[in-house]
């Protein structure tokens, strides 16, 4: 029996289970392959004793519509930065256990690894491949920020969730004559915000790629109200959006008690800035957060994820290692790690989708 190991790493993403199922079902057709799942990315291999799950057809039955990942995930630890507590110095240190992990995998009879993860995970894949481990990468992120692939699975589900939120906010905003600020994820890109703003019919969309001017946002909002103060407005803001004046949002977000801020919290800051600039209507903020990553993947993401899983296993059969599966409409192709990693897919300010948004009246505050 030949063995292939699957690992999911980084943040979870709707469609991960559909990728796993695609790998397992395609492998089962060969008859002489066993699929193993490492628990919590590569931690399952690095732990003593190891924790891996045999993924046969029974184990993956019906998981294509389940959110999360049945083999868990983490963005902590990993083969290149394994945390070890140094008692003498009283601090954590990070050690490289990559060679040891590769030897363990060889000992387990693992011939190849399918690594499902975002840019950081694929950098790790590239490094492990250069050290002799045969890897096929599968791109994963709700942010759609990887340029090697037209779309990442999970993105359309996140957009749907954000759009549903806009739809709900529209009715409460109109009833109360309020302005709502909906903050969505996306890391340093505005894909989720842009798509949800168009699909939901928002008035303002703020994204990192187009720095905004608060006064322009203010003007747009004022036009949404009549002289009696009747009206409403919806702003969709990406967590990484930036004002032209370079204000840092995270500090302000912490002030209002939004803990654990990395990129998020801009909704509160923007709200305060609008009030300080004299905007009178009520403003409410909604930070959608991890709701965008949870739950059932929509059909589009299940299909893309399944295609990725099946193709990733076929690359294992062909010995096409050191590549990431990628979607280039209408095909799934192999992109070498060196071309795939570190290439962020930003929204282009002059793209047709931004023009379409402007064309239907959405302001980017620029």
CB of 270 to ligand F6P, least distance (A): 17
Beta bridge partners of 210: 207
Q: Return the residue of 293, 302, 311, 323 that touches ligand F6P, per CB under 6 A.
A: 293
Q: In the complex with ligand F6P, which residue's Cβ is closer, 26 or 140?
A: 140
Question: Site map for ligand F6P, 233-262, x if CB under 6 A?
Answer: ------x-----------------------
Tell me the number of residues near ligand F6P by CB under 6 A: 10
The CB-nearest residue to ligand F6P is: 185
Is residue 301 within 8 A of residue 157, CB to CB? The reply is: yes
The answer to whether the peptide bond before residue 330 is cis (omega within 30 degrees of 0) is: yes
In the list 16, 102, 142, 270, the residue contacting ligand F6P (rule: CB under 6 A) is 142
How far is it, in rounded angstroms, from Cα 198 to Cα 347? 14
- From the list 156, 158, 144, the residue with the least C-alpha distance to 300 is 156
Q: Count, in order, helices (H) and strands (E) of the chain.
A: 13, 13
H or E segment to which residue 110 belongs? strand 110-117
By CB under 6 A, the residues from 151 to 190 that bind ligand F6P are 185-187
Strands 110-117 and 135-139: parallel
143 is an active site residue: yes
Residue 263 contacts ligand F6P per CB under 6 A: yes
2 or 123: whose CB is closer to ligand F6P?
Answer: 123
CB of 208 to ligand F6P, least distance (A): 11
Q: How far is the CB of 142 from ligand F6P (least distance, A)?
A: 5
CB distance 78 to 124 below 8 Å: yes
Q: Which two tokens stand for residue 189?
A: 């890109």
Is 230 one of the annotated binding-site residues? no
Distance of CA 218 to the CA centre of its chain: 30
Q: Could you tell me the two tokens for 228?
A: 């009696």
CB 20 within 8 A of CB 55: yes
143, 145, 203, 269: the catalytic one is: 143
Name the segment binding ligand F6P (CB under 6 A); options: 87-95, 136-144, 227-235, 302-310: 136-144
**Residue closer to ligand F6P (CB basis): 141 or 179:** 141
Contact in structure between 135 and 341 (CB atoms under 8 Å)? no
114 is in an annotated binding site: no
Which residues in 88-97 are b (16+ Cβ under 10 Å) and which e? eeeeeeeeeb
- Minimum distance, C-beta of residue 81 to ligand F6P, in the bound complex (Å): 16
CB of 319 to ligand F6P, least distance (A): 31
Q: Pick from 9, 40, 122, 143 the residue near ligand F6P by CB under 6 A.
A: 143
Residue 141 binding ligand F6P, by CB under 6 A? yes
The binding track of 8-27 with respect to ligand F6P, each residue x by CB under 6 A or -, is ---x----------------
Q: 166 and 180 in contact (C-beta within 8 Å)?
A: no
Q: Does 227 count as an annotated binding residue?
A: no
Beta strands 331-336; 323-328: pairing state: antiparallel
Binding residues for Mg(2+): 119
Q: Where do contacts with ligand F6P occur on this chain (CB under 6 A)?
A: 11, 141-143, 185-187, 239, 263, 293
Cite the active site residues: 143
């Amino acid at each position: 029996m030949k063995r292939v190991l699957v690992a999911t790493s980084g943040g979870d993403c709707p469609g991960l289970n559909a990728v796993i199922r695609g790998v397992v079902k395609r492998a089962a057709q060969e008859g002489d392959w066993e699929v193993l799942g490492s628990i919590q990315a590569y931690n399952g291999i690095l732990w003593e004793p190891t924790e891996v799950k045999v993924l046969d057809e029974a184990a993956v039955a019906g998981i294509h519509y389940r959110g999360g990942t049945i083999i868990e995930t983490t963005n902590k630890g990993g083969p290149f930065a394994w945390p070890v507590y140094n008692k003498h110095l009283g601090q954590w240190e990070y050690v490289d256990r990559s060679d040891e992990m590769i030897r363990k995998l060889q000992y387990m009879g693992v011939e190849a690894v399918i690594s499902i993860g975002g840019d950081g995970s694929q950098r790790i894949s590239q490094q492990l491949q250069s050290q002799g481990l045969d890897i096929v990468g599968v791109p994963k992120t709700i942010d759609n920020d990887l340029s090697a692939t037209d779309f990442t699975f999970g993105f359309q589900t996140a957009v749907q969730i954000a759009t549903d939120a806009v739809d709900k906010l529209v009715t409460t905003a109109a009833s109360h004559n309020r302005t709502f600020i909906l903050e969505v994820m996306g890391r340093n890109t505005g894909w989720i915000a842009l798509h949800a703003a168009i699909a939901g019919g928002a008035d303002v969309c703020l994204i990192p790629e187009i720095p905004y001017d608060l006064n322009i946002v203010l003007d747009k909002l004022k036009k949404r109200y009549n002289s009696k103060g009747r009206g409403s407005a919806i702003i969709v803001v990406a967590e990484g959006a930036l004002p032209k004046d370079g204000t840092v949002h995270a500090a302000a977000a912490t002030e209002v008690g939004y803990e654990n801020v990395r990129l998020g919290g801009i909704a509160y800051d923007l709200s305060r800035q609008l009030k300080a600039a004299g905007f009178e209507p009520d403003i409410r903020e909604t930070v959608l957060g991890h709701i965008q990553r949870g739950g059932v993947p929509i059909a589009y993401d299940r299909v893309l994820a399944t295609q990725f899983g099946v193709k990733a296993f076929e690359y294992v059969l062909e010995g096409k290692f050191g590549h990431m599966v990628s979607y280039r409409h209408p095909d799934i192709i192999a992109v070498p790690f060196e071309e795939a990693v570190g290439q962020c897919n930003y929204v282009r300010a002059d793209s047709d989708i931004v023009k379409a948004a402007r064309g239907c009246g959405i302001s980017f505050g620029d």
